[in-house]
Amino acid sequence: MLSLDFLDDVRRMNKRQLYYQVLNFGMIVSSALMIWKGLMVITGSESPIVVVLSGSMEPAFHRGDLLFLTNRVEDPIRVGEIVVFRIEGREIPIVHRVLKIHEKQNGHIKFLTKGDNNAVDDRGLYKQGQHWLEKKDVVGRARGSSVLLRNNSPHLPQFPRCC
């Protein structure tokens, strides 16, 4: 057996102390996990904090901003609100503004979105044959952001636009 001095501390521990160290690490991970799940339950959204990935919402949101979302059933979606939605078959959610809404008497809605900085609406991004989004595609509505914490560094290099 190699005599590695930094392992001396581990060798000196008995079973209980080793188990306690493992538990300590598990508790740190569990705390982070529980806080995240707790936020999920409180906001009702499956991803309560998201990062803006593209520049399609400038000048409101730049790349790297954090957004805080809620997804409560009682709040209806209205034109002009910023929503985060997921297109069927794609993993990455998209942050854009609602442009048009069709609403039925029973509360069922269909809506169209567009990024502030994009020239056209999002129909080109939706699935083949899909022209409207529905409530089930929504991850959440933006309620707050970390815009004020941004540091005013020089403009980021422009990568090819997506989303």
Partner 1 sequence: MAAAAAQGGRSGGSGGSSGTGGGSSCGTGIGRSGLLDKWKIDDKPVKIDKWDGSAVKNSLDDSAKKVLLEKYKYVENFGLIDGRLTICTISCFFAIVALIWDYMHPFPESKPVLALCVISYFVMMGILTIYTSYKEKSIFLVAHRKDPTGMDPDDIWQLSSSLKRFDDKYTLKLTFISGRTKQQREAEFTKSIAKFFDHSGTLVMDAYEPEISRLHDSLATERKVK
Residues carrying an active site annotation? 56, 96, 122
- Position among 8, 91, 120, 160 found at the interface with partner 1 (CB under 8 A): 8
The nearer residue to partner 1, 18 or 79, going by C-beta atoms, is 18
Tally the residues of the chain.
163
Closest CA relative to residue 100, chosen from 92, 91, 110, 90: 110
The nearer residue to partner 1, 37 or 127, going by C-beta atoms, is 37
**What gap in Å lies between CA 141 and CA 71, rounded to an integer?**
6
Residue type present at position 4:
L
Residue identified by tokens 């392992």 is: 7
**What gap in Å lies between CA 31 and CA 27, rounded to an integer?**
6
The nearer residue to partner 1, 41 or 120, going by C-beta atoms, is 41
Is 16 a binder of partner 1 (CB under 8 A)? Answer: yes
Of residues 17-56, which lie at the interface with partner 1 (CB under 8 A)?
19-20, 23-24, 26-27, 29-31, 33-34, 37-38, 40-41, 44, 46
> For partner 1, how many residues bind (rule: CB under 8 A)?
27
Of residues 112-151, which lie at the interface with partner 1 (CB under 8 A)?
none
Task: Supply the minimum distance, in Å, between the C-beta of residue 121 and partner 1.
Answer: 28
Residue 144: C-alpha distances to residues 50, 66, 118 (Å): 11, 9, 22
Question: Residue 109 half-sphere exposure, CB side, CA atoms within 13 Å?
Answer: 18
Q: Contact, 52 vs 61, CB < 8 A?
A: yes
Per CB under 8 A, residues contacting partner 1 are 1, 5, 8-9, 11-16, 19-20, 23-24, 26-27, 29-31, 33-34, 37-38, 40-41, 44, 46
